[in-house]
Amino acid sequence: MAHDERRLEVLRAIVQDFVSTNDPVGSRALADRHDLGVSPATIRNDMAVLEEQGYITQPHTSAGRVPTDKGYRLFVDRLSAVKPLSVAERRAIERFLDGAVDLHDVLGRTVRLLAQLTRQVAVVQYPTLSRSAVRHLEVVQVAAARLMLVLITDTGRVEQRVVDCPADIDAGAVAELRTLLNSAFSGVKLTDAGDKVPDLLETAPQHLRGLVATVSSTLLETLVEPSEDRLVIGGTANLARGSALDFQGTVSPLLEALEEQVVVLRLISEVDAGTVLVRIGEENDHEALTGASLVTVGYGSRDRALGGLGIVGPTRMDYPTNMAAVRAVARYVGQILAES
């Protein structure tokens, strides 16, 4: 029916205007700024219906309309096309990420880039250990009876643990241990590594058994524990800047949630590469996030998502543009990490 068609068009216009002006939008303004081909009065009728259906709402009786979370959802799902980035933007992304010297640097640049591009808070997850494999295991003797284990993953992450040993260790044993560990674990996925530790204990040469036993518990912890999944956050100044109004005055619960990391981490890791995921306002379980929207996507190669990245902002955000930015940045990051 042509009615429904136009009503959706009205909703789209409302979302667009509200996002750009931050003012509740009235029927006259809509008719002026968009070519809807009908008069304000007709728009008013459509708006009444949209309100009844829960897509928009009015803050006060005689104010204009504002999209609800449900309205944004419909907009994102059916009314918007992901806006392609300009050539200049693409080039900026490339320039910005080029020349990064290590993983830390790549992710640091990524988060700054994303924050700058979207003017929102940007969040980037380190490549999950659980999806990485061992590239190299290094054993360094830092004291007579103390070793440092260094794990280097194929995604470039480096994790370290210090192990205290009951007795002094000689350098030869350290070298043997290193060889042993690497031949056992090199190329093994971290999720599978746990199972290999018992084997290792049995097959290790007699004189290394003790050492291996001591080291293995720490090893297990380093290899298997996927807990320590890190997050880089940037662009928090964007929160404080304009959005004070969007978050009923105070942004501090949101900042706290971001620093807490665990909540965002859970949300951001539920992604797969290529599909941009949008969570709007109340769709987020966590209380501090009910006023916010998340736009996330996985990065990595097509068949393997290394981690997630995305942005956090007010529900009143420019979804098409932000989705495009998030997707583009993720693609470049995936590319760069694949190369290194």
Partner DNA sequence: GCTGGCACTCCGACCGTGCGAGTGCCAGCA
Partner DNA sequence: TGCTGGCACTCGCACGGTCGGAGTGCCAGC
Which residues form the interface with a copy of itself (CB under 8 A)? 101-105, 112, 135-136, 138, 140, 142, 148, 150, 152, 156, 158-162, 221, 228, 230, 234-241, 250-253, 255-256, 259, 340
Minimum CB–partner distance for residue 327 and DNA (Å) = 34
Does 57 participate in binding DNA (rule CB under 7 A)? no
Report the run of H or E that residue 257 belongs to, with start and end: helix 252-260
Would you give the binding string for DNA spanning residues 140-179, x where CB under 7 A is met? ----------------------------------------
CA distances from 43 to 8, 39, 157 (A): 11, 6, 55
Minimum Å gap between C-beta 3 and a copy of itself is 45
Which of 23, 164 has the CB closer to a copy of itself?
164
CA nearest 144: which of 169, 172, 174? 169
* Bridge partners, 243 (sequence order): none
Q: Which does 283 bind (CB under 5 to 8 A by kind): a copy of itself, DNA, none?
A: none
Stretch that binds DNA, among 17-25, 136-144, 171-179, 192-200 (CB under 7 A): 17-25
> Which C-beta is closer to a copy of itself: that of 17 or that of 229?
229
The least distance separating DNA from the CB of residue 249, rounded to whole angstroms, comes to: 14
CA–chain centroid gap for 76, Å, is 19
Near DNA by CB under 7 A: residue from 8, 22, 38, 188: 38
Q: Which is nearer to a copy of itself, 168 or 260 (CB)?
A: 260
User: Which tokens sit at 313?
Assistant: 């902002």
DSSP 135-176: EEEEEEEEETTEEEEEEEETTS-EEEEEEE-SS---HHHHHH
- 158 by Cβ neighbours in 10 Å (0-12 / 13-18 / 19+) ranks as middle
Position among 4, 20, 48, 144 found at the interface with DNA (CB under 7 A): 48
Tell me whether strands 66-67 and 56-57 are parallel, antiparallel or unpaired: antiparallel
Per residue in 59-95, is it b (16+ CB within 10 Å) or e — as a string?
Answer: eeeeebbbbbbbbbbbbbeebbebeebeeeeeeebee
- Of 89 and 138, which CB lies nearer to a copy of itself in the complex structure? 138
Pairing, β 277-280 against β 292-301: antiparallel
CB atoms within 10 A of CB 52: 9
Please give the size of the binding site for DNA, defined by CB under 7 A.
29
- Mark residues 61-100: x for contact with DNA by CB under 7 A, - for none: xxxxx-----------------------------------
Q: How far is the CB of 64 from DNA (least distance, A)?
A: 4
Among a copy of itself, DNA, none, partner that 40 touches (CB below 5 to 8 angstroms by kind): DNA
CA distance 218 to 164: 10
Among 307, 246, 235, CA closest to 280: 246
DSSP state of 37: S
Residue span binding DNA (CB under 7 A) among the ranges 46-54, 211-219, 258-266, 331-339: 46-54
- The interface region with DNA, picked from 21-29, 132-140, 226-234, 306-314 by CB under 7 A, is 21-29
First to last CA, the chain: 54
In terms of CB distance, is 193 or 271 closer to a copy of itself? Answer: 193
Q: How far is the CB of 112 from a copy of itself (least distance, A)?
A: 8
Confirm or reject binding of residue 41 to DNA (CB under 7 A).
yes
Binding site residues, DNA, CB under 7 A: 2-3, 6, 23-29, 37-42, 44-45, 47-48, 51, 58-65
